[in-house]
Amino acid sequence: MSKKVMILPGDGIGPEIVEQACRVLESVNTKFNLGLEFVEELIGGASIDAHGEPLTDAAVERARGCDAILLGAVGGPKWDTIDRAIRPERGLLKIRSQLGLYANLRPALLYPQLVEASSLKPEVVSGLDILIVRELTGGIYFGEPRGIRTLENGEREGFNTYKYSESEIERIGRTAFEMARKRDKKVCSVDKANVLEATILWREVMDRLAPEYPDVELSHMYVDNAAMQLVRAPKQFDVLVTGNMFGDILSDAAAMLTGSIGMLPSASLNEQGQGMYEPCHGSAPDIAGQGIANPLATILSASMMLRYSLAETEAADAIDAAVGKVLDQGLRTADIVTDGTEKVGTQAMGDAVLKALP
């Protein structure tokens, strides 16, 4: 039976990096006889330009019918001043929310070949392997009421609502515990329970779940401390679980530990196991169209897609191994280049991964 994959290139460097990931996917599709079928849709600024909105309902419906989705990135200066209700980012939030993609898995794994590319000392980061589990469809990103209103004195006020229900917390908590079971069996839940009620409840629910996972050790940390510990001694962590906004921030910090955010894939899963896969980085408008962006995070996202949504472990392993080989060969895009390695562009990196496939 054929499986459908939706491709959403998006904006900025999105189309360039997705192109390389698609070449890799098409190659393993043939080599491993996967029977994948690809459909493409617009998202973000590209969709605003074509349809006047960052993601059409028709595109969402089409996505619902697919087994998995591969996304590049959205946004750029061209749409920065647009009405905030139709900003490119809203397209991303819409697909996450409409498909119920609540579990965002952001692994920060340091390839041994890239130890020198990290801004931290080798002994601090070598062997780093942490997983950030970010809640993706709730919290302050979606809480109502929200808006910008004019007060009686004529001054304007921006406001958002930070809330989490018990069931939302429990659902992401279980994901974290279950992920930890397959790893080093440690979960650190990150909150701001010294100030924010929403996260007092968060901590309570995590504690309530813990006895159901006696093989996993649960700890709690305030988000400010977690940010500090991530750059001080990141190897103390195995799985970090947190809400939408804290997860957004901490995952960027964790990304840099690994040398470059250009290396980090992510998966966003719903309760049915359907998933959307995207690099953790953004659309990088400053380097868009120059052919220098790192396509590896997107290629690795394609591999995560094969592993988590399409049950094609062999093909996923092949892609991961090919990426390792290319790094062994000393090929580096500009974001990860160091002394003694060879700087290549987006397309050449894609070529090299293709050639390294079995």
Instruction: Classify 154 in phi/psi space as left (phi over 0), alpha (psi -120 to 50) or beta.
Output: left
**CA dist 253 to 243, 247, 320, Å?**
15, 10, 23
**CA dist 349 to 20, 305, 327, Å?**
8, 20, 10
Q: Per-residue contact track with ligand IPM, 77 to 96, x per CB under 6 A?
A: ------------x--x----
Nearest to 136 by CA among 251, 51, 228: 251
Write out the two tokens for 171. 């659902």
Q: Is 49 a catalytic residue?
A: no
Binders of Mg ion among residues 120 to 159 (CB under 5 A) are none
Q: Per-residue contact track with ligand IPM, 214 to 253, x per CB under 6 A?
A: ----------------------------------x-----
Residue placing its CB nearer to ligand IPM in the complex, 134 or 332: 134
Tell me if 188 contacts ligand IPM by CB under 6 A: no
For residues 305 and 311, give the distance between their C-alpha atoms in angstroms, rounded to a whole number: 8
**Taking the complex as a whole, how short is the minimal distance between the CB of residue 247 and Mg ion, in angstroms?**
9
Helix (H, G, I), strand (E, B) or coil at 232: helix
Binders of ligand IPM among residues 56 to 75 (CB under 6 A) are 75
For 18, residues 6+ apart whose C-beta sits below 8 A from its C-beta are 7, 8, 9, 10, 70, 71, 72, 298
Q: Is 111 a catalytic residue?
A: no
2 forms bridges with which residues in the sheet? none
Q: Is 317 a catalytic residue?
A: no
Output the residue with the shortest Cβ distance to ligand IPM.
89
Tell me if 168 contacts ligand IPM by CB under 6 A: no
Among 248, 278, 312, 335, binds Mg ion (CB under 5 A): 248
**Taking the complex as a whole, how short is the minimal distance between the CB of residue 273 and ligand IPM, in angstroms?**
20
Indicate which residues carry an active-site annotation. 141, 192, 224, 248, 252
Interaction site with Mg ion (CB under 5 A): 248
Interaction site with ligand IPM (CB under 6 A): 75, 89, 92, 248, 282
